[in-house]
Amino acid sequence: MPTQSSNFRPMNTQPVRICVPVCAREIRAFEEASKEAAQCGDIIELRVDCLDTCEPSRVEALTKTVNRLAIVTFRPREQGGHCDADSSTRRRFWNTQIESSQDALFDIELDLLLDNSIQPDWQRVICSHHDFNSVPANLDQIYASMAKTPARIFKIAVNARDVVDCIPLFRLIDRARKEGKEIIAVAMGLPGIATRILGPSRGNYLTYGSLDADRGTAPGQISARELRELYRIDRISRDTQVLGILGLPVGHSISPNVHNAAFASAGLDAVYLPFEVRDLPAFITRMAHPRSRELDWNLTGLSVTAPHKTAVMDYLDWIDPAAREIGAVNTIVITADGFHGYNTDALAALKPVEKKLGSLRDSRCALLGAGGVARALLWSLRRNGVHVTLFSRNLKKGSALAEKFGAEHRLLNEASLGEFDFVVNATPLGTQGVTEGSSPATIEQLRGARLAYDLVYNPDDTLFMQQAREAGCEAIGGLSMFVLQAAEQFKLWTGVEAPAAVMQLAAEQAFS
C-alpha cells in the first residue's frame, strides 16, 4: 500500500445516504425513536409493520415531523415484517397511504406491484424483494421483473452465509448503474457487511444503519455511528484500498476498530472489514486473488484468523521463511504479483510475558493448544530457549506438532500445570461467542504456576484468567499481543511504522 500524506482526505463523489430504520410496537415509542433516528440518519425508514395498530394519519404526521426524507414500509412477515397482513390488507393500506402521505418514499414489495392493484406516484416507489433464507439463484430474474415496473428504485435484500455471497449483489449494483437505474442491493448477515459498507461507493442509493447495536432491523445491520465513525463511509470510493480479517467466525474481532483507527490516524485512503469465510477456496479465487477475482475492487491485504491460518498457505504465491517454518500465516499482502504470506503472531507473542518475567531462557512453559497460534508460539518459544511442553486433547495432532518443534507432548485432561513458570492458552476457548465462558484448564490444574497468559483478547477477562487468579497465578490477557501483531501487520501493508498508541487506545475503547 503506497503511503500518503496525513492530510489526505478523499471524499466519496456521491453523497452517502444512511437510512436508519425505526421499529417499535407502541406509537409513542415509535415517535421517540423516529426523532432519535433523525439525529444520526439522512433518511428514516418507518417500519409501520412493527406497530400493533397502524393509522395512516399518524404515519403521515410522522413523515412531516422527522425533518428527514422518510421511507414507509408495511412488510409482511414472510419478507421480514412483523405483521400477518394478507395481500388484500396490504393493498388497502398502500392505497390509503399513498393518498395521505405526500412527503415520503414507499417501499412496496414486488408481488403487489406486479398485479397493478396499486397506482402510486412511481417516482416515490421503492420496489423491493427480501429473502431471509438465502441468496436465490434467480436474482437476475427478480431484477428483470422489477424492471417491468416504473418504480424509481429497486431494492433486493438477501441472506448471505459466506462473504462470496456478496458477489451477485455487487454485480446487480454494477448492472443498475450501467442501465441508469437506482438500486439498493444488500446481503444481510455478518458475511454481507461488505455490501453495507462498500455499496454506496459502488452505486447503492443508500445503506442501512441501525440506531444502535440492539436496535437493528435485519441481520448484520451495523449502527449508523459505526458506519460514519469506524468505517468512515463518507470517504470510501471505488479507489479506496480494502483490507480485512479472514476467518470464521469474525464477529468478535476488534481488528476493524484497531486498523481503521490506524488508517484514519495515518491519513490513508483505506478501510478494514470483517470477512466471514466458510469456503476458503471460493473466497481466494473469486474475491481475493488478483489473477482470478470476479470483483473489481482494490483489495490489498488480509489478516487471517482461525480456522484458516494453515489452510490458506496452499493459495499463497510466496511465504516468508519464518511463516513457512511455523506452518501458519496470519497476514497476507496482496500485490499485482499475487499473495505474500507472513506471521506476525510469532513476533509479538512473547513480549507481554518477557515484560513480566524478564529473560525466558531456560524457563518452563505449558502451551495449551495445537492450532495456528500454538504453532507460532512454539516456534518463538523454542527460539528463545524455553523448555516447552505442549498440552492438547487430540493425541495425534498434538504429538505431531510437538515433534515438529522438538517439544514434549502430554494430554491435557489429567495434566497438572503447577510445575511450569508460565501457562499459555493458545486455544480459542473463551472467545466471545459460542465458546465464551469456557476454559481449557481448571483451577486445580493451574494451581502452582507462576503466570497464566491467555491469548484470547475478547472478552478482555476470560474464565481462564479468572481461574488462574483464583489458583494464585498472575494472569495477563491477549490484548497487548493482539495490538503488537496488528502493528506489525500495518507496517507490512503500508511500509511505514504503525501508530501503536492509537491502535492500543482503539483496542481498549472497543471493550469500553
Alpha-carbon 179 to chain mean position: 31
Tell me, yes or no, if 309 is annotated catalytic. Answer: yes
In 85-124, alpha helices (H):
87-100, 110-114
For the record, the C-alpha cell of 469 comes out as 487468579
> Whole-angstrom distance between the N-terminal and C-terminal Cα of the chain?
31
The whole-angstrom separation of Cα 487 and Cα 490 is: 5
Name the residue type at position 229. E
**What are the backbone angles phi and psi of residue 128, rounded to the nearest 5°?**
-125, 155
- Helix axes of 56-65 and 27-40: crossing angle, nearest 10 degrees: 30
**How far is 282 from 35, CA to CA, in rounded Å?**
44
Catalytic member of 148, 178, 181, 309: 309
| Calpha distance 162→379 (Å, rounded) | 32
Question: 3-class SS at 238?
Answer: coil
DSSP states of 335-378: ETTEEEEE--HHHHTTHHHHHHHS--TT-EEEEE--SHHHHHHH
Whole-number Å distance between alpha carbons of 109 and 154: 10
CA dist 317 to 277, 302, 354, 488, Å? 20, 14, 34, 20
Question: What DSSP element (H or E) covers 494?
Answer: helix 479-494
Contact 248, 261 (CB under 8 A): no
Cα-flanking dihedrals φ and ψ of residue 25, to 5°? -80, -40
Check: CB of residue 237 under 8 Å from CB of residue 12: yes
Closest CA to 171 of 156, 189, 151: 156
The label of the residue with cell 506476525 reads 344
- Phi and psi based region of residue 490 (left: phi greater than 0; alpha: psi -120 to 50; beta: remaining): alpha
Helix locations, 384-442, DSSP H: 395-404
- β-pairing verdict for 299-304 and 331-335: antiparallel
Phi and psi at 293, nearest 5°, equal -70, 145
Per-residue burial over 361-391, b = 16 or more CB atoms within 10 Å of its CB, e = otherwise: eebbbbbbbbbbbbbbbbbbbeebebbbbbb
The set of catalytic residues is: 309
